[in-house]
Amino acid sequence: MIESSLRIVQPDWTQPMPLAALFGNAQPIELDLGCGKGRFLLARAAAHPGVNFLGVDRMLGRIRKVDNRARRLDLGNIRLLRMEGYYATTYLLPPASIRTCYIFFPDPWPKKRHHEHRMFNPHFMDALHRALVPGGVLHFATDHLPYFADVRDLLQADTRFAEIDPFVPTPAEQTDFELYYVGRTPIGRCSCQKRAGA
Ligand SMILES: C[S@@+](CC[C@H](N)C(=O)[O-])C[C@H]1O[C@@H](n2cnc3c(N)ncnc32)[C@H](O)[C@@H]1O
C-alpha cells in the first residue's frame, strides 16, 4: 500500500514532471482532466493495472476524496495533481507523454462572455497535441450540447487530429456527473486521435 502523500503529487511548478519516477515505472499514462470525485478514474485504474492514471482537478477536496478512495482500494497506479488543467497540460506534462486524455463533463460556462473559462479552446488543442504521444487519443463527453458542438467543430477543423469512434464507458466507469445526467438529457460524446507525424 502506498501512502496518501505519495499519491498526491507536489511537483516543481516550473518543470515538466518526471512521470516515470512519480509512478515508479514506465507504463503508459492516461490523464483524467477534471477528474472530480474520481468514479471513472478509480474504476479504470482498478481494471487496468498495467496502465498509469493521472487525475487532475483544481479542487483540493475532490483530489483528497479520490486519494482516500484509491488508498482504500489499494490502487498503486494512480497519481493525483491539484492543478488547473490547462497549466498542467501545457507546462507540467512532458511532450509526448500521455496515451489517452479523458475530459468528461467539464464545466460548460454557458454564457458567451464566460467561454474563455472553458477548458477546451484552441490554446488547449495545442497543449493537448503537445502532451499526447503520436496516435494518442482524446475522449470528451458533456451534457451541454452547445459546448459539445463547439468542441466537435474545433476537433474537426484541426488537421493534426482524426475523429474516431466515441468512447462509451461501461456502467462501472460512468462518472459521477454522467450518473446524474444519463436518462435525463442527451449526452454528447466525441473522440479523436493525434495523427502520427502531425
Ligand atoms: C462538472 S465536474 C465533472 C467531474 C467528473 N469529470 C465527472 O464527470 O463526474 C468538473 C470538474 O472539473 C474541475 N475543473 C473545472 N475546471 C477545471 C480546470 N480549469 N482545471 C482543473 N479542473 C477543473 C472541477 O473542479 C470539477 O471537479
Segment 96-136, tens digit of pLDDT: 999 999 999 999 988 989 888 898 888 999 999 999 999 99
Q: Checking phi first, is residue 90 left (phi over 0); if not, alpha (psi -120 to 50) or beta?
A: alpha
pTM (2 decimals)?
0.96
The continuous run of DSSP H or E covering 75 comes out as none
Three-state DSSP at 165 gives: coil
> What pLDDT score was predicted for residue 110?
86
Domains held by the chain: number: 1
Q: Could you tell me which of 195, 196, 170 has the C-alpha nearest to residue 43?
A: 170
CATH code of residue 156: 3.40.50.150
One digit per residue, the tens of pLDDT, for the chain of length 198 reads: 565 568 999 999 999 999 999 999 999 999 999 999 999 999 999 999 999 999 999 999 999 999 999 999 999 999 999 999 999 999 999 999 999 999 999 999 889 898 888 988 889 999 999 999 999 999 999 999 999 999 999 999 999 999 999 999 999 999 999 999 988 999 999 999 999 887
**Ramachandran quadrant class, 31 (left: phi over 0; alpha: psi -120 to 50; beta: rest):** beta
Q: Ligand 1: residues within 6 Å at CB?
A: 34-36, 56-59, 62, 84-85, 104-107, 119, 175-178
| Ligand 1 atom index nearest CA of 178 | 8
Residue 173's pLDDT is what? 97
- 108: CA distance to ligand 1 center in Å? 10
Q: What is the DSSP letter of 79?
A: E
For the question of residue 153 being annotated catalytic, the response is no
Q: How far apart are CA 86 and CA 127, in angstroms?
A: 7
pLDDT score for 178: 96
Question: Which atom of ligand 1 approaches the CA of 34 most closely?
Answer: 12
Q: How far is CA 87 from the centre of its chain?
A: 13
Structural domain containing residue 65? 4-194
Among the listed residues 67, 74, 107, 153, the single catalytic one is 107
Ligand 1 pocket mutation, candidates 35, 56, 138, criterion most atoms within 8 A of CB = 35
The closest residue, in CA terms, to atom 27 on ligand 1 is: 36
| Centroid of ligand 1 to alpha carbon of 36 (angstroms) | 5
